Amino acid sequence: MKTVFTGPISKENPVSQAIVQVFSKALTVRLVEPEEKKHWDKLVEKYHYLKKAKMVGESLQYVAEQNGKWVALLGWSSAAFHLQDRDNWIGWSAPQRHARRHLVACNARFLILPQTKNRTNLASQILSLNLARLSQDWINFYDHPILLAETFVDPQRFEGTCYRAANWIEVGRSKGFGRTRLDFYQLHEHPKAIFVYPVHRQARKHLSAATMPAKLASFDRQDLLGYPLSLPQTQSLLDALYQVPDPRSCKGRLHRHLSSLLALSAAAMLAGNNTFIAIGRFAASLNQQQLRWLRASRDRKTGRLRTPSESAIRRAIQCIDPQALDRAISAWLRSHEAPDSQRVLAVDGKAVRTVSKINGQPFQLFSVLCHQSRLVYQQIKIPDKTNEIPAIKELLADLNISGALTTLDALHTQKSTAEFLVEEKKSDYLLTVKNNQPKLLQRLVKLNKRKDFFPSGDDLGSRARTS
């Protein structure tokens, strides 16, 4: 008979030993062996509705067997960075979430294979067996336990019956964002039900406690409080910011890499620090490991990595080309965006009111925003004594928008703009027509009344043209 657990059942585990003994004779849950992972991936990609086997962060793959045959697949990954309803249920603060999120695991994949027979209560049984060994397996692989499990159920597809039968708790709904990679989230507009399960009986209490109990204190990552980026994210950000020209003099430079100062500042702002003084305090709180991630310069006398001062950060940011920085940051954000064959882009201009109040001069920004991801792809400053119309070619010059749908307001309903989008950028367009172009508006109203009207103009033959 195969062994179900790698070690004895903890007294704190809510799964009763009686249930495990009843089903262990015929049903087992074990980790997937290295040589089995390709087969596991292939089955998930074939039968799971997400069609993706890859999981994010720390992850483990399991297989459930019944009489030696594979009957189900389970995958666990790192927990979601932020879920309002889950966080409210736990009761932890944002710093506590940063320090203890690794103690929560997400059941990212659960698949009952289609050839499986005798499915009555099978899913809940498998979940119970898996939860009984999950924390110890996580300790073996990642050197820390799991206190709480979470999962997401798409209400348009499933009821979540197996999770309810296994005593999971529904705590709310997600906001409709999904993780793409490297902890980047993209809007998919399909909110899912959030279920949680206390692997440790006092999971809720310990995760929200001001101080964790002695047995768990060593797993509380207080040293990482406030730093919002993972190592891969930090590295990719540094690589992107390396493209920003460094105007500083080489003489007397304590911090060799401008990209290091800029990446530190970006991380500080992501953590909620929006002034130079706050960024300086954030820099002072970083440990040597985090400074190493940021490629900080080393002090030759002490041998330690040097922490940039607030004044050094301020001088570096004030002397760089803001458009070069904006292009680098925008490119970095786009590089983490999930592929989408039907992108919809919005082009619009906005006035920065604070700048106008300070020096009395208008400051207009012209931007391209992706509807799906809500990322700003590109933005430029509109030159003085002009407007958005002539600036659109400069805004879109370096962007690949082929195949995308570009939406613009009535100001851009110009023949030259439409021709530029279609002929040069290979993009479709959606232009707003208002009363400022009465003849065109009247023609469109008449066309819209025709039953055989084609917006593309295909029914007009040789008379089809851009308007």
Is the CB of residue 375 less than 8 Å from the CB of residue 280? no
Pair of tokens at residue 345: 């882009």
Q: Which helix (H) or strand (E) holds 364?
A: strand 364-370
Note the pLDDT tens digit of each residue in 108-140.
999 999 887 767 789 999 999 999 999 999 999
**Parallel, antiparallel, or unpaired: how do β-strands 148-153 and 104-112 relate?**
parallel
Distance CA 209, CA 198 (A): 15
Note the pLDDT tens digit of each residue in 275-302.
888 898 889 888 888 999 999 999 888 8
**In the chain, domain spans:** 17-221, 231-325, 341-432, 433-467
Instruction: Please state which architecture CATH assigns to domain 341-432.
Output: 2-Layer Sandwich (3.30)
Instruction: Say what the pLDDT of residue 355 is.
Output: 55
Distance CA 66, CA 68 (A): 5
Is the CB of residue 146 less than 8 Å from the CB of residue 57? no
Q: What is the pTM of this model?
A: 0.50
Note the pLDDT tens digit of each residue in 172-220.
998 766 655 444 455 556 789 999 999 999 999 999 998 899 999 888 8
Note the pLDDT tens digit of each residue in 143-152.
899 999 999 9
Give the CATH fold of the 17-221 domain. Aminopeptidase (3.40.630)
